[in-house]
Structures are given as C-alpha cells and as structure tokens.
Structure 1
C-alpha cells in the first residue's frame, strides 16, 4: 500500500511525470509545444491551479504549481489525460504514454526550496546535456525573468480537441504567477535568487559534461530526433520518492516537516483502522483527500496548517 498523502489547499509542489520507457514522445516541436501549453492552461483554469514554472523535456514534464483549492489529484488526472490522448493522436502512438510509476509530487515548504526547485526545473535541459544554457531549449519552458511576469499562450491544437465542444476554447493563455509568500515588491529579488541558482546549477552541468568527455547535443539536433526513439543515457533507479523539500542547510525546517508527515500518516492509519472496523464516524486528519472524496469520510480540517 502506498503512503497516504496530505492534500492541503494553498500548497506548492514540484511535479514530475515521465513518458513510458523513456520514449522521446515530447520531443520539442511546434505541435507538441502547442498541445502541452494548451492542455496545461485549460486544466489550470478549470481547477484554479496557479502555475509558476514549467519545462517540458522529451521524456518527462516538470511543473511548479500552487494548488489553491486543494484539488491537485483532480487537476493532474485531467491534465495528464489531455496530454496523453493528444499525444497519442499527434504521434500516432499505440499504447500508454505515461510511465507506470506514480507522479512525483514534492511539496515546497520554504523560500530556499522554491528557489532551488524552480531553478532545477528551468535548468533541466542543461543538466541533461542537451543544451549548454537552459534558455536555448526549444521545448515549453520559462526563464527566471518571466517568473510572475510571463504569459504562455496557445491556440487550440488541431488534434483531439473538438472545435464544436465549447469547453475547448479557440485560444488560451496561462499567466505565470509568483509562489505564495513572494510579495510583488520582493519579486525582483526572488527572480535574482533563482537566476543565481540557475547559474550555479548550469556550472555544475558544464563540469559534469566535461568530466564525462561528452558534448551538449544542441537545440537543433534535440528537435530533430525521432519521437519514437528512447533515451539511452544512464538513469539511476528511482529508489526514493520524497514528499517535501526545504532546501539546502535547512535542518530545523526539515525536522519540523518530517515530524508533520509522520504525524499525518499515523493519524491517517489510526482513522483508517477504525473505518475498516466499521466505525464510519472515524475522524481523518486534515488534508485527507481520497477517503473524503470517494467515501465521504469525516476530516478534521480545523487543524490544517499550510
């Protein structure tokens, strides 16, 4: 059984989902970029999710979002379904699009975590050895200077989205917002912090490529590979699945967050044990989503702290 996960309104997450068997189905080209932006924009609008950063790699997607209303599972189900079905039509692909592993959801609990993980998302193409500088990547992405300022827009794709269906509007836009806690009068300082972290991570990427005796693939070659090929670079087995991040040298914040996760899981399992024994008045801890949504379980929202 997987670990229970707290879904808290107003929480910010780093989200990662991978393509099945590392196929290059999201190879950056105009059609796939249009599909991804459109699907993300209509999904975010439907569920009130705020998008802060995004980077689409050929084999996976990264997002940093805030789940304002506490409906993240609904948003992900809708968004990932649109992307999968649109990709199957666009690429004439049979079978699943997404990897069998669960979507990675890492809750970002501090400013340091926001800076590090947003930079991680934006620097991903360089870290993967595809382009020397992240801003050169031709896939869907944002730059540090666009945080809280930029706007993604896309017309309705010519595949999958029926123009006669009113829910698929002709053109959609997606504003890039600042994460909670970053005030507009401090936005420029935040963007500078992210830019400095990008520079640090890109320097690490350059050093690693040089150490391995490799060269960066380049944007043009990355855009022209077959989407039916698979990535061949080494990838370590994903034996860890973190649920939160606090950033480097944030020991006290890490211990507080870890204690909160342990407390939630213990309370959840105690309530679930009661429920399985037939006690329908069992009170689940704040942030319980699945049991409330699908079974109408009682949830103690009074103590939920984001």
Structure 2
C-alpha cells in the first residue's frame, strides 16, 4: 500500500512522468510538441492549475505547477490520459505510453526549492548531453526569460481530438504564472536566481559530457531520432521518491517538513483504522484526497504546518 499524500490547495509541485521503458515517444518534433502544449493548456484551465515551468524530454516529462484548488489527482489523470491517447495516434503505438511506476510528485516548500527545481527542469536536455544550452532544446519547454510572464500557444492537434467537441477549442493560450513563493517579490529577481542556478547546472553537465568523452547530440538530430528506439545511456536505479523538497542550506526546514508529513500520515492511518472498524464519523486530516472524494469521509480544517 502506498503512503497517503496530502493534497493541499495552493501547493507547488515538481511533477515527473516517464515514458514506458525509455522509448523516445516524445521525440521533440512539431507534432508531439503541439500535442503536449495543447493538452497542458486545456487541462490546466479545466482544473485551475498554474504552470511555472516545463520541459518535455524524449523519454519523460517535467512540470512545475501550483494546484490552486487542491485537485491535483484529477488534473494528472485528465492530462496524462489526453497525452497518452494522442501519442498513440501520432506514433501509431499499441500498448501503454506511460511507465508503470507512479508519477513522481514532489512538493516544493521554499523559495530555494522552487528556484533549484525549475533550474533542474530547464537544464535536463543539457544534462542528458543533447544540447549545450537549455535554450537550444527544440521540444516543449519554458525559457528563463518566460518565467512568470510568457504565453505558450498551440492549435488543436488533428490527431485524436474531435473538433466538434466544445471542450477542444481550435486554439489555446497558456499564461505562465509566478509561483506563490515568488509573487510578493516580483519576477525579475526570481528570473535572475533561476538563470544563475541554470548556468551552474549547465556548466556541470558540459564538464561531465567532456569528462566522459561524449559528443553533444544537437537539436536537429534529437528531432529526427526514431521515436520507437529506446534511450541507451546509463541510468542509475531509481532510489527513493521524495515527497517534498526544501532546497539547499535551509536550516531546520527539512526537519520541520518531515515532522509534518509524519504527523499527517499518522493521523490518516488512525482515522482509516476507525473507518475500517465501521466508524463512519472518523475524521481524516486536512489534505486527505481519496477518502474525502470517493467515500465522503469527514476532513478536519486543522492543517499540519510544513
């Protein structure tokens, strides 16, 4: 049984989902980029999700978003389904598109965590040895100067989506928002912080590529690889899937956040035991999603501080 997860309105997350067995189904050509941007814009508008950053790699997708309404599972289900079905049509692909592992959802609790994870997301193509600078990546992405102010636009893909259905408009626009942890300070300083962190990531990645004697693939070749091939680069076994991040040098922030997570889980399990014992008046902790949504369980207003 997986650990219960708190779903809190206003929380900011790093979300990662991988393609099945590292197939290159998200090769950054125009058709897949259009599908990803359109699907994201429609899905976020439907569920009140704010997008801060994204980078679609050939084998996985990174998003940094804020869930303003506390409905993240609904958004992920809807968005991932559209992307999967559209990809199956575009690639004439039979079988699953997404990896069988659960989506990685990491809550970003501090400004430092937001800055570091956005830079990490944008630097992904450089770290993979595909381009020398993040801005050169041809896939769906956000550039540093677009953070909190850019607008991503896409026409409705011809594949899969019914043009007669009003939920699929002909054109959509997705305005990039500043994360809540940044809004009060304005965007200029935030963009400078991300740019500096991104430059650090890029320099480390280029040094590692040179150390290994590798050649950078380049944007043009990345666009033209077969989407049916699989990535062959070494990938370490995936370790723990973190629940939250606080960033570097944040004092006691990690300890405090970990204590809040433990308290939430303990309270959830206690309520679940009562529920299983037939006590339908059991009260679950604030942020409980599944039991509240699908079983109508009562949820307290008391929030565990993180």
Q: TM-score, normalised by structure 1?
A: 0.98
SS at match of 1:153: strand
Equivalent residue number for residue 143 of structure 1: 143
> Does 1:97 pair with 2:103?
no
Match in the other structure for 2:270: 270
Per the TM alignment, residue 117 of structure 1 is displaced from its structure 2 partner at its CA by 0.1
Does the 8 Å contact 1:106/1:243 carry over to 2?
A: yes
Residue pair 2:264, 2:304 contacting (<8 A) in 1 also: no
RMSD of aligned residue pairs (Cα, Å)? 1.0
Residue in 2 that maps onto 1:56: 56
Alignment of 1:104-183 (within 5 A): 104-183=104-183
Q: Hey, which bits of structure 1, 4+ residues long, moved more than 6 A?
A: none
Q: Structure 1 pair 261/184, CA: closer, same or farther in 2 (3 Å)?
A: closer
**Is the partner of 1:301 in helix, strand or coil?**
coil
Q: 2:38 maps to what in 1?
A: 38
Q: Which stretch of the first structure deviates more once superposed, 40-49 or 235-244?
A: 235-244
Q: Deviations over 1:98-117 (max 9, x none)?
A: 00000000000000000000
The number of residue pairs the alignment matches comes to 306
Moved more, 7-16 or 204-213: 204-213
C-alpha contact (below 8 Å) 1:8/1:304 kept by paired residues: no
| Residues 1:5 and 2:15 aligned together | no
Q: For residue 273 of structure 1, give the secondary structure of its aligned residue in structure 2.
A: helix
Query: Which residue pairs with 1:209 in the alignment?
Result: 209
Contact 1:287 1:304 (C-alpha < 8 Å) held by counterparts: no
Cα offset, 1:185, TM superposition? 5.1
2:249 aligned partner: 249
Distance 1:52 1:105 in 2: 15
Counterpart CA distance in 2 for 1:236 and 1:252 is 30
Q: For the Cα contact (< 8 Å) 1:43–1:79, is it kept in 2? A: yes
Question: Per the alignment, do residues 259 and 304 of structure 1 end up closer, same or farther by CA in structure 2, a change over 3 Å counting?
Answer: closer
Deviation at 1:215, TM superposition (A): 1.2
In 2, Cα distance between equivalents of 1:58 and 1:262:
36
Which runs of 5 or more structure 1 residues have no equivalent in the other structure?
none
Q: 1:93: Cα distance to partner?
A: 0.2
Mapped to 1, the partners of 2:49 and 2:216 lie a distance apart of 35
Alignment of 1:290-305 (within 5 A): 290-303=290-303, 305=305
State how far apart, in whole Å, the 2-side matches of 1:149 and 1:181 are: 16
How far 1:170 sits from its partner (Å)? 0.5
